[in-house]
Structure 1
Amino acid sequence: MRTEGEKNVKSTVSRAVVTATVTVALGLTAACGGGGDSDDSGDGKKPSKSATSAQPKEEPKPEPKEKAALSSAELEKAVLASGDLKGYKVEKLSAEDMPELTVPVKPSACQALADMFMFTSDPRAAARVGRSMTGPDELDATVISFALLAHKEGAAKNVMDDLRTATEKCESYEDVGSKFGEVAPLTAPKLGDDAISYKLVGLIDDQKTPMSFTVVRSDSTLVAFYSINLLKPKAFGVPEKVVKAQVTKLEKQ
């Protein structure tokens, strides 16, 4: 018997497919001056005490303070809304589309990818907001889903590392009856403090569904996108202008 979390995952996968059919010391070099050889009867002057005194030691710089996780209210202010990007309509994702709990998958090397499909992660985010977006072209069946995930900065870095490792080691996995494979890295946008893009292909209801993912870390917050286009599978992808608009709005908060 499936758990409630598994039902939510299966429901989310199905909804995604249905919707898609209609997202890099201070070095001080002491100059050693040769003063020439001298004997006791020489007229050379001895270096002054001040000149030979040791340089004072620099105090160690304090470690930069880790950025705290943003609150739900701060995420709500930072997330894109209709009108922020001309021609794009933004709607709120339901709680069912963003389940709180993750569902373990095999092999475990693929877990980070399966989690991000649901905008979840390990460690879990302190707060999340999610949205879906459609573009100005009514004939374009691309559907973009995106979320802001609030973490402590160290945790956010760990999630990015796990995703990057998964794109290198994961080949395929099964998640509540749906199969995913053909995992491959894509060129990531030069945004935020770190970014990763990758693709995977889902076999959902016997239909191949290419999906494009982009995740950007800005300080302690992750900006995660994925897109699906069943009508034009080869045209799938998250437009960089959309990702840039969201990262820019977040960084202005």
Structure 2
Amino acid sequence: MVGIGVTAALTATAACGGQDTDDKSSGSKKPAAKASPAAQEALKPLTEAQLTKAAITKADVKGYRVGDTPDDEIPEVSVPAKPATCQAIADMFLLGTEPNATARVSRSLTSLERTDGTLLRMGLLAHKEADAKKVVADLRTQSEKCNSYEHTDYQYTGVKPLKAPDFGDEAVSYTMTSDIDGDKIPVTYSVVRSGSTLVVFYAMNALGGKAPEVPAAVMEAQVTKVEKAA
């Protein structure tokens, strides 16, 4: 199944490492100013080439090995979740969204400290700005209302929102526990919208225990590169 494939790939990454790559105010409102041509251009979806160039490398995040994520770990086809009211959360597990991203790139990060059991994945998803806003809104709503769901024959429980990181134009963060063949693995997601691009951070604690945190330094490094690319 796809779900177990993702977990297996992440675990293998931890063991061997990937191939290195580089208060609204009251009163009358003034008419909103029209965006300049440059601003309008910046909000168009980035291309795959631009996303690839904006993806962090080992030079940007000291102490991590950075590798490509195999294409089969981020499939194009969405798998239905039960209940459907958890679909956005389920899709994001495989870096999927509705509406679909126009381009995606992903990287897997492995700490060079052997005692660190946290596995990290980063994804850049290009969207129209309105679509990117919708995805964040759906994730925020579902992280508050979706407690558990089934996806690719596996169970995910304890879904709850976390404090969102202070990066980009807006962000949403949540945690859950995946139950795969009896192994309960806590995971954490933080999704940052920077213009029309979604910057996704996924952390899994391969050793179990408490929910892992996505290092702030990793998030800052990646969001900064996306902002420069846009």
Q: TM-score higher than 0.5 here?
A: yes
Query: Cα deviation per residue 1:27-75 (whole Å; 9 max; x = unaligned)?
Result: 79xxxxxxxxxxxxxxxxxxxxxxxxxxxxx987436748110000000
Structure-2 change in CA distance of 1:74 and 1:234 (3 Å): same
The answer (yes or no) to whether the contact 2:149–2:155 under 8 Å persists in 1 is: yes
User: How far is the alpha carbon of 1:21 from its aligned partner?
Assistant: 7.5
User: How far is the alpha carbon of 1:241 from its aligned partner?
Assistant: 1.1
User: How far is the alpha carbon of 1:109 from its aligned partner?
Assistant: 1.2
Whether 1:62 and 2:34 are equivalent positions in the alignment is yes
In structure 2, C-alpha distance between the alignment counterparts of 1:223 and 1:15, rounded to whole Å: 21
Structure-2 change in CA distance of 1:232 and 1:201 (3 Å): closer
Task: Report matched runs for 1:177-196 at 5 Å.
Answer: 177-196=153-172
Whether 1:159 and 2:135 are equivalent positions in the alignment is yes
SS at match of 1:198: strand
Amino acid in structure 2 at the alignment position of 1:179: Q
Query: Cα deviation per residue 1:76-134 (whole Å; 9 max; x = unaligned)?
Result: 11000111111111000010111011101111111001110100100000000000001
| Residue of structure 2 in register with 1:141 after alignment | 117
Consecutive unaligned residues of structure 2, counting only runs of 5 or more, are 17-22
Say which of 11, 16, 19 aligns to 2:10: 16
Amino acid in structure 2 at the alignment position of 1:146: M
Q: How many residues align?
A: 217
Task: Report matched runs for 1:1-80 at 5 Å.
Answer: 7-16=1-10, 19=13, 61-62=33-34, 65=40, 67-80=43-56
SS at match of 2:166: coil
Query: Cα deviation per residue 1:189-234 (whole Å; 9 max; x = unaligned)?
Result: 1100001110010111101110010000000000001111122522
User: How far is the alpha carbon of 1:17 from its aligned partner?
Assistant: 5.1
| Residue of structure 1 in register with 2:144 after alignment | 168
Structure-2 change in CA distance of 1:152 and 1:247 (3 Å): same
In structure 2, C-alpha distance between the alignment counterparts of 1:96 and 1:27, rounded to whole Å: 53
In structure 2, C-alpha distance between the alignment counterparts of 1:229 and 1:109, rounded to whole Å: 26
Question: If the length of structure 2 is used for normalisation, what is the TM-score?
Answer: 0.86
Amino acid in structure 2 at the alignment position of 1:68: K
In structure 1, C-alpha distance between the alignment counterparts of 2:13 and 2:164, rounded to whole Å: 25
Higher strand share: 2
In structure 2, C-alpha distance between the alignment counterparts of 1:20 and 1:228, rounded to whole Å: 11
| Residue of structure 2 in register with 1:214 after alignment | 190
The answer (yes or no) to whether the contact 1:21–1:141 under 8 Å persists in 2 is: no
**Cα-Cα RMSD:** 2.4
